[in-house]
Amino acid sequence: MTDNSTTMTLSGKTLSPGLGEGQIFVYRDIMNRFDEFYDIDDTQIEPELKRLDRALARISDDLSVLAGRVEAEIDSELSGVFHAHLAMMQDASLKAEVEKEVKGELVSAGSAVRTVFRRWEHRFQSMDAEVSRQKSDDMRDLARRLVSALAGVHAHALADLPRGSVLVANRLLPSDTVFLARNMAAAALLEIGAKGSHAALFAREIGLPCVAALPGLLETVSESSYALVDADGAQAIINPNATQRDTFLKKIEQRTQTIAKARARAHKSAMTQDGTRIAVLANVGDAEDTRIAIENGADGVGLYRLEQIYLSRQHPPQHGRAG
């Protein structure tokens, strides 16, 4: 671990631009714990399989709720990530493979989940297509959810993340970024991460500054450290000195002014070089989308997403009104 007085500059790659600062919060994945992984005997097979069924049912319910929350609070397209997770969780062949592992190897359901899901994770990682490599993160996310449910862990490790913290983690999975959106983390620093990953897409959507490709990060920093994160420049300063902090504050001020100027210009008419006016129309699904569109100078609505009215309700909306 680094001493609290040691200043370091780390360079990686930008997953999501922006500037953020705060006390470091180190996030360690439950998949690195071993309290749920043990051997069983023949008499324990059926109880383990029943535990697996209960965990699968619980996670399926959780994913349905989470998809609806992302639909309402973040982005309707990104909610599809969790609909896909739900479909994967309900895949009969995947469940059969876990059950076979329990029966054949006489191991706990948690151990079987870790083995089978890691096998699938490695398969996706070995594929050339970026979309296939994204699936490896999905498998990791689902495995962690299942292991947590089997271990009786009901709260996500990031649920108690202090507001304004800089998250330090090996990598971020889609469900992690949902908690970051709700807790308003200042920034994130990751050992592993790809620009096309689902987590990167979520981070950009919620405006979370994020720098990845920082190998050995978890062994380098401690929760007694303070970090300045310049995701625009793909850098982070750990335990900054007074000069570095002053420089960073100036960058924040400059960025704030640049955004303010851009918003002011956004309310002017969009014109081509030959003087043709272009209407800038927004895709909206609720009042918050509309507010943001107005703030950013939209001239009107180009597409109103009606599906959100239905997906967020238990009953169809009454004729003539959405509420």
- Residues 87-104 pLDDT 10s: 999 999 999 999 999 999
What is the arithmetic mean of pLDDT over 252-273? Answer: 88
Query: According to the model, what pLDDT value does residue 31 have?
Result: 58
Q: Is the pLDDT of residue 1 over 50?
A: no
Where in the chain are all domains bearing CATH 3.50.30.10? Answer: 8-28+158-258
Where in the chain are all domains bearing CATH 1.10.274.10? Answer: 31-150
- Residues 15-63 pLDDT 10s: 999 999 999 999 876 555 545 578 889 999 999 999 999 999 999 998 9
User: From CA 99, how far away is CA 91, in angstroms rounded?
Assistant: 13
pTM of the model: 0.69
Q: Is the pLDDT of residue 316 over 90?
A: no
| CATH number, span 8-28+158-258 | 3.50.30.10
* CATH 1.10.274.10 assigned to 31-150: yes
Query: According to the model, what pLDDT value does residue 18 have?
Result: 94
Q: Is the pLDDT of residue 197 over 70?
A: yes
Query: According to the model, what pLDDT value does residue 153 have?
Result: 77
Q: Which long-range contacts (CB under 8 A, 24 or more apart) does 147-155 make?
A: 147/30, 147/31, 147/36, 147/110, 147/113, 147/114, 148/30, 149/54, 149/55, 149/58, 149/59, 150/36, 150/51, 150/52, 150/55, 150/108, 150/109, 150/110, 150/113, 151/30, 151/35, 151/36, 151/110, 153/30
In whole numbers, what is the pLDDT of the chain averaged over residues?
Answer: 85
User: From CA 201, how far away is CA 43, in angstroms rounded?
Assistant: 46
Query: According to the model, what pLDDT value does residue 161 have?
Result: 85
Q: Using 50, 70 and 90 to split pLDDT, how confident is the model at 169?
A: very high
What is the arithmetic mean of pLDDT over 212-226? Answer: 92
Query: According to the model, what pLDDT value does residue 215 have?
Result: 93
- Residues 125-154 pLDDT 10s: 888 776 677 788 889 899 988 988 888 877
